[in-house]
Structure 1
């Protein structure tokens, strides 16, 4: 996804959401440091069977193990949502079934980010999926910023300036 090509409203929403999370971490630099450590990990952190990822300032825990097949399907679903707004429309039967199974398996998944020392930041909890009333599924902006989007994308979103005439 190219941040510069996004619609104005999407840029503003992403900026607000990601900046809010960065401030909860104690600032942009601490937030970006966490993302860099996640990206530097040899295997994807979400594939840890222990459901924990340790980083310099704390740790990230999640409820249950994520298998590589589900993670791959999730990343494809995120790409599809970013491109056409819905993860299920337009899929062939096999991919539709695999995506539904991934949704069922990962639906209850929630994450807890805990600091090493209690003064760095408050414990942050978030769910992977946000379910809308109309049945649409959206993926947490924090999850995408941490585990999916390239760090350059997150930096652009963090540093985006909302000007008065854009509101």
Structure 2
């Protein structure tokens, strides 16, 4: 999802809708982008926070399980491969298959809750880190990828995407 130029028009529209819905539920595009910038500017990656939350003046992201640094590093390696193979899980013959499968099993139950500071800004939203397609296919949830990993510039492009007129 993070490589805007390699996405098809259908994928761009799909991600646009998901991100726009999330942004609307957090107070709008501007507030959502400020959240993403705050995550990127954090001195340590927010996912390894011991208190399982990330706060900025505009709102809070909370989750229900501690994520350790080694899991985050493995996730980042697997994420780099996902765009090439369209699957977070490597092939079963790959040496890292079991590690990545255990990572998915460990992080799958986590639920992230994003809430704006003021209720009138929106209802907030919830998401899990992965979309399990079938037994052999797992992808990062677009919101998880957008909030914690993709560049803010790419997310801006997706939020402002307008489909080409036919």
Q: Does 1:44 align with 2:52?
A: no
Give the whole-Å Cα distance in 2 for the aligned partners of 1:76 and 1:22. Answer: 28
Report the Cα offset of residue 94 of structure 1: 3.2
Q: Does 1:82 align with 2:83?
A: yes
Q: Would you say the 8 A contact 2:109–2:128 is kept in 1?
A: yes
Q: Would you say the 8 A contact 2:24–2:122 is kept in 1?
A: no
Structure 1 equivalent of residue 138 of structure 2? 137
RMSD: 1.7
Report the Cα offset of residue 138 of structure 1: 2.0
Unaligned 5+ segments in structure 1 are: none
Q: Would you say the 8 A contact 2:89–2:136 is kept in 1?
A: no
Structure 1 equivalent of residue 105 of structure 2? 104
Give the whole-Å Cα distance in 2 for the aligned partners of 1:118 and 1:79. Answer: 36
Q: Would you say the 8 A contact 2:25–2:121 is kept in 1?
A: no
* Secondary structure of the structure 2 residue equivalent to 1:12: helix
TM-score, normalised with respect to structure 1 = 0.90
TM-score, normalised with respect to structure 2 = 0.90
Structure 2 equivalent of residue 15 of structure 1? 16
Report the Cα offset of residue 135 of structure 1: 4.3
Unaligned 5+ segments in structure 2 are: none
Query: Which shows bigger deviation, 65-74 or 83-92?
Result: 83-92
Structure 2 equivalent of residue 94 of structure 1? 95
Report the Cα offset of residue 87 of structure 1: 2.2
Structure 1 stretches of 4+ with a deviation exceeding 3 A read 89-94
* Secondary structure of the structure 1 residue equivalent to 2:87: coil
Q: CA distance change for structure 1 residues 105 and 14 in 2, over 3 Å: closer, same or farther?
A: same
Query: Which shows bigger deviation, 90-99 or 40-49?
Result: 90-99
